[in-house]
Amino acid sequence: DAKTTQPTSMDCAEGRAANLPCNHSTISGNEYVYWYRQIHSQGPQYIIHGLKNNETNEMASLIITEDRKSSTLILPHATLRDTAVYYCIASNYGGSQGNLIFGKGTKLSVKP
């Protein structure tokens, strides 16, 4: 799995868009970019994933650069409940382990 780099922490005003960057410059062609979040001490929650194209679902949008070396998770209208640690992971489930390597993530604080 490719190593990812994320800022340690970020703040966002409630109602504004939260843009969380992730660098994965060593990503290989068959590795997907996954985003999870962990609210307080709950189990990690899947948000979104993508390979090459930008993706959008009911929770967020994922923008992947054309060279695939970085991506941005966008929460369009952040709420206080979006305060969490966000993990960016580059992984290929077709590999021998298929596990996700979680780093320390970005702690997003949404403020009123």
Partner 1 sequence: NAGVTQTPKFQVLKTGQSMTLQCAQDMNHNSMYWYRQDPGMGLRLIYYSASEGTTDKGEVPNGYNVSRLNKREFSLRLESAAPSQTSVYFCASIQSTPGELPQHFGDGTRLSIL
Residues that bind partner 1 (CB under 8 A): 30, 32, 34, 36, 41-46, 49, 51, 87, 92-94, 96-105
Letter string b/e over residues 53-83, b meaning 16 or more CB atoms within 10 A of that residue's CB: eebeeeebbbbbeeebebbbbbbeebeeebb
Strand partners, 35: 48, 88
The answer to whether the beta carbons of residues 83 and 76 sit under 8 Å apart is no
Q: How far is the CB of 83 from partner 1 (least distance, A)?
A: 16
Smallest gap from Cβ 54 to partner 1, in A, equals 15
Q: Looking at beta carbons only, is 70 or 86 nearer to partner 1?
A: 86
Cβ distance to partner 1 smaller for residue 17 or 45: 45
For residue 38, the minimal CB distance to partner 1 (Å) is 8
